[in-house]
Structure 1
């Protein structure tokens, strides 16, 4: 099979099992000889900021000269981004080898349990752990898919766990309340292992602190054990030691701090200057990503109320001219509440990609019950808005990582419409 066929196979597997537990992933990992136990890991969950924190932490670990794996989701431009070694997406050859290893393991299990199979994220998770063990990674940074306790990555005993934020997202799967979501995400807290807590709402913080106490897990809490300030730059304070970083949005400042305090638990001998340079030079795909400066075009995969609110708040702070929004969301997101975050003078154009879950014009009109500007072809929509910009204007592409990836592929000349079918 070629790589495209392999990716199609994985992405067309079922999304969920009838029973939402870790039985299947544990069984496949046993058959693969427990690769997840052969690498030291860090585990990251949270409503927003997981990916950014994972990238920052992996780059800091990489700076020590060790071999570092990174598992993130979703990918932005190409599937191989999901599994990275030392900052680079895995090669097609390694992807094929991992696929074959997991498929062979499934066949072996099916000899005794003919009905056994994996869902998409389990297959990807198994490949990631197999690759990190095969490549002899010293550490691997693991981002959850959804949730925590029942997430398919929750089969590790990490060096430390990180919970970035708690907010409303995926309510139908891990909700419906903030307390339900906090309880699910608290599942990454492990016995006697540190847990780093970021910008956690006060009403659910006691739940996490109580879980940590029961697990005897030391807590490093934002605002108590480490501080973040954003003025002319970002200043992170850890044990009276100051680190200065280029100014980024407040949410990114928190993610940087979370990565840094987690990295500090390992006590590597690395200079403040090296740490600052590493963070300042880290570019995270589709997270406040600037693809053009004058006029400014920013691409961000924000897809829930908390993330979109943080994004538009930052854009308003830096805006000197008009703000244009190219928005494409999935049907299962709260489109109406997201739209209400925008000011009427911020010109919104809806669009969609060729993906089954992508919201259509009828979905949006039913949701909003008002006339909206809709351009079905995301490439045409992007070109039209880009051509309207004057030097001080800003165009923000947001609403989903699927749209962000499609636009980035379009900008880079790779018009892979079939990537999203």
Structure 2
């Protein structure tokens, strides 16, 4: 039996050897043995290629500002493993992780002996989260972030109050499909019968797929730009905008997180909370809603680590994320020399991502980090134009130190460190220490 936190993490991460095993049968087996904790929570389910974490955080902060106690399940983590299961933004304790695993581990080992096979790492963590939230009588709402896709994701055992699909992009195509329609179909798999679904998805073909599935499930469908709107958006220290729904206007909202994509995420969160209020599930004042939005921060997303020199971390780990990063840089860092350090996983669309970064970078440095799927600097370089402004530094600590020196020695420069969230997590810890 697991006794310490280090033993718990080692056992959980050891499940990685099982890889990804899409499907809900193992989760349903564990939920049955745990007396169906997923049925004891009031949940909001958030899927999408990008924007899930920010949307979860906006909703949490608004509801928290109104006095509710909110559980969140997110991935991956940036600072500590425990943050994946949090209450009011605070990760659960090491002792709670151990106690949870003492419940889940015997089930996992029993399940391993069945024809279903053992649960994956993500299934174990999801089961831990649902057991924790299901047993906690004082948690008002739980916001669950999908790990991958939606239809076959282990979080899809819940029956939420609201489903949210933030965006659709080309990521995890080896699992989710090669076309926007296929990927949208997987994400839309979270839609449950009669449960409202909200989306900021932009591609017409993806919207058609989501709308069709919502219609089949008799689920009210709310689309940004069709059923609710962003008005008067302008960039300042963060972003200012107004959200107009079918029956209410929320004027002069402000968020500190930068980027037009963050405005879209925030508008999804506003509508979700407004709908909860409309059904009587929550009571929240406009002032509390606005304050919760403004207080929201999400580490590793256009996060300013230093002002002088200007250093920004952003986990832009797929083409859509890089596109949003480039747009945000152009809106908020006009006139600055942009120096970029980039490292990514080898299964991403590297040529597309690097091509976007090259357009705005005065210098672009490729590096790598210790992770099984991390791209080598050689792979990154091969996917670039190999121009004079591009260089490779295998050791990412050396790349970061050289980047800091570069932007410290010239005026009006910014260092952007971006790519895989696993990479950003390591760099963030290094810089803050």
Same fold (TM over 0.5): yes
The 1:87/1:384 distance shift into structure 2, 3 A limit, reads same
Give 1:345 deviation, angstroms: 4.5
1:46 alignment counterpart: 48
Give the one of 244, 247, 254 matched to 1:237: 244
The 1:221/1:234 distance shift into structure 2, 3 A limit, reads same
**RMSD (Å), alpha carbons:** 1.9
d(CA) in 2 for partners of 1:47 and 1:115?
A: 28
Give 1:16 deviation, angstroms: 5.2
Give 1:15 deviation, angstroms: 5.8
The 1:409/1:17 distance shift into structure 2, 3 A limit, reads closer
1:162 alignment counterpart: 164
**1:15, 1:121 within 8 Å by CA — same for their partners in 2?**
no
**2:66, 2:285 within 8 Å by CA — same for their partners in 1?**
no
Aligned ranges 1:332-347 → 2 under 5 Å: 332-342=347-357, 343=359, 345-347=361-363
Give the one of 384, 396, 399 matched to 1:378: 396
**2:63, 2:284 within 8 Å by CA — same for their partners in 1?**
no
The 1:242/1:217 distance shift into structure 2, 3 A limit, reads same
Bigger shift: residues 236-245 or 349-358: 236-245
1:65 alignment counterpart: 67
Aligned residue pairs total: 412
Give 1:147 deviation, angstroms: 0.3
- Give the TM-score normalised by structure 2: 0.90
Give the one of 370, 375, 379 matched to 1:363: 379
d(CA) in 2 for partners of 1:18 and 1:167?
A: 20
Give 1:4 deviation, angstroms: 2.5
- Partner of 1:287, secondary structure, is coil
d(CA) in 2 for partners of 1:281 and 1:89?
A: 18
The 1:99/1:324 distance shift into structure 2, 3 A limit, reads same
1:276 alignment counterpart: 290
Determine if the alignment matches structure 1 residue 261 to structure 2 residue 271.
yes
d(CA) in 1 for partners of 2:200 and 2:35?
A: 34
Flag structure 2 segments of 5+ consecutive residues without an equivalent: none
- Give the TM-score normalised by structure 1: 0.93
Give 1:65 deviation, angstroms: 1.9
- Partner of 2:128, secondary structure, is helix
**1:245, 1:279 within 8 Å by CA — same for their partners in 2?**
yes
